[in-house]
Amino acid sequence: MADATVTPAHAAPAGAVHPRLAPVVRVLQGSTQALAVAMLVVYFALVLLQIFFRFVLNESLFWAEELIRGLMVWGVMMASVLVGRARGHIRVEGIELLLGARGRRVLFQLCDAVCIAFCVLLAVACVQLMDRVWHQMSPMLEIPKWTVYMAVAVGPALEALIVLLTWGQGPQTGTSTGDSL
């Protein structure tokens, strides 16, 4: 007798992004990757500029360190979205090896749920922190401190979104680091 389970023709295979969500995931992943790379380039250039000013011109760019710190926070939070998409966060792989295909699928969904819960909790806590420092200004750049803290709210919120959009997928295998990150 044939299998009684009917799968719609437009349904995504287990572990794959639904075809309707694939463009959203691609745009989110691509724009996040572009932002993270741009921030990396900018703070790398600022570090080189700061070295040049300090050791060649014997001057100091007093504002550069603060800007580099802020860009690093934003860069790390944007890169965490890419790590979440690749399911590359630290985990114990021994459990995966002991489970069958169905058990791994359940484990991946549990990991996704924990990741989303943590990201939402972190984003909410950071929004509360931003509310407390709303009127504080950074000492050198004199920009609101919440602009840096906002990265710790935006990054986890985007990571939760991309994990939700790619629900139940295991770690991406068969791709080079350049493709996934």
Residue 115 located in a structural domain: yes
Query: Measured between alpha carbons, how far is 82 from 76 in angstroms, rounded to an integer?
Result: 10
pTM of the model: 0.76
Instruction: List all residues 6 or more positions away from 162 whose beta carbon is below 8 Å from its beta carbon.
Output: 25, 28, 29, 32, 81, 84, 85
At 16, the pLDDT band (50, 70, 90 cuts) reads low
pLDDT at 172: 65
Query: Measured between alpha carbons, how far is 85 from 93 in angstroms, rounded to an integer?
Result: 17
At 2, the pLDDT band (50, 70, 90 cuts) reads very low
159 pLDDT exceeds 70?
yes
3 pLDDT exceeds 50?
no
Query: Measured between alpha carbons, how far is 181 from 88 in angstroms, rounded to an integer?
Result: 10
* CB-CB neighbours of 75 under 10 Å: 22
Strand partners, 137: 144
pLDDT at 101: 86
- Rounded average pLDDT over 36-46: 92
What is the count of structural domains for the chain? 1
Residue 54 located in a structural domain: yes
Query: Measured between alpha carbons, how far is 160 from 119 in angstroms, rounded to an integer?
Result: 6
Residue 3 located in a structural domain: no
Give the angle 140-143-146 at the CA atoms, nearest 5°: 120
CA distances from 27 to 21, 49, 120, 129, 164 (A): 10, 32, 21, 29, 15
158 pLDDT exceeds 80?
yes
Least confident residue range of 90-94, 107-111, 135-139, 148-152: 90-94
pLDDT at 74: 93
Tokens of 144: 């609101």
62 pLDDT exceeds 90?
no
Residue 142 located in a structural domain: yes
pLDDT above 90 covers a percentage of the chain that reads 47
Residue with tokens 């050791």, as numbered in its chain: 55
Tokens of 117: 């819960």
Query: Measured between alpha carbons, how far is 178 from 140 in angstroms, rounded to an integer?
Result: 36
Digit-coded pLDDT (tens) for 102-147: 988 888 888 899 999 999 999 999 999 999 999 999 888 889 989 9
What range does the domain containing 153 cover? Answer: 22-171
Residue 5 located in a structural domain: no
91 pLDDT exceeds 80?
no
178 pLDDT exceeds 70?
no
